[in-house]
Amino acid sequence: MSSRFAEGLAQLNLLLSDHIIQKELDFLDELLRWNQRVNLTSIRNRDEAIEKHLLDSLLLLPHLGDAKKIIDIGSGGGLPGIPLAIADTNLKVLSIDSVGKKINFQKHIKRLLQLNNLTVMQSRIENLTQTALEQEKYDLVLSRAFSSLDISLRYAAPWLKPGGRLVAMKGPEGREELRAAEKMIKQKNFYDWEVIAYELPFSSAERQLVILKK
């Protein structure tokens, strides 16, 4: 077990079992191992990846509310969807990315860690809105490193049930993007929003969650 990961969880008041902690680290180590030959992330240092990948993803746990079905759009190497799927086996996670090598890695992780609550799909999110999947509505859409808030709103809206939320993970620019997206917020019938600012526990890097309800 990583003492740094345990320390970070304690600082963030996140309580996970030893079994879950080990699975989170297994995922991260496999991500870094694959990253030596397949470009999945620019972060190669394990301690940095623990903070900026695992802890940053798991910070979402207190903000999931009663969500049971979520979509992670533009999920890359599976962040934040896979750490959340590991942490809560009752959570059904659909992870979507357009890059084949990243989806192949996610499928490998699904098999390796036996994540039966994870569905992985290779596609651009905008190409899925006219398929049968559109008929299934979700509680939460996650957007971590996908695009601007304006574009995230456009693509998230068809997937959300009434009362569903978009959670966009941003840096210090979150509030500015929220103001710039005012027209799209109204157009797509989002009626309530909040911005939650926080810092990562070791680097003190600034982050903002922009949460909008449909």
- How do residues 122-145 score in pLDDT, each as one tens digit? 998 888 754 545 567 899 999 997
How many percent of the chain have pLDDT more than 90? 90
Say if 33 falls within a structural domain.
Answer: no
Distance CA 107, CA 161 (A): 27
Q: Which two tokens stand for residue 190?
A: 């989002």
**What is the reported pLDDT for 135?**
62
CB 167 within 8 A of CB 141: yes
Query: Could you tell me the sign of the dihedral formed by the alpha carbons of 195, 59, 171, 108, in that order?
Result: negative
**What is the reported pLDDT for 128?**
77
List the one residue out of 83, 86, 67 whose CA is nearest residue 75: 83
CB 28 within 8 A of CB 54: yes
Say if 47 falls within a structural domain.
Answer: no
Say if 10 falls within a structural domain.
Answer: no
- pTM assigned to the model: 0.95
**What is the reported pLDDT for 99?**
95
**What is the reported pLDDT for 145?**
78
**What is the reported pLDDT for 147?**
84
Distance CA 207, CA 172 (A): 6
Say if 157 falls within a structural domain.
Answer: yes
Distance CA 131, CA 19 (A): 38
How many structural domains is the chain composed of?
Answer: 1
Say if 162 falls within a structural domain.
Answer: yes
What does the pLDDT look like over 54-101, one tens digit per residue?
Answer: 999 999 999 999 999 999 999 999 999 999 999 999 999 999 999 999
Q: Provide the residue range defining the domain that includes 176.
A: 65-213
What does the pLDDT look like over 19-60, one tens digit per residue?
Answer: 999 999 999 999 999 999 999 999 999 999 999 999 999 999
CATH number at residue 172: 3.40.50.150
Q: Which two tokens stand for residue 170?
A: 């941003």
Say if 102 falls within a structural domain.
Answer: yes
What does the pLDDT look like over 153-206, one tens digit per residue?
Answer: 999 999 999 999 999 999 999 999 999 999 999 999 998 999 999 999 999 999
Distance CA 13, CA 198 (A): 13
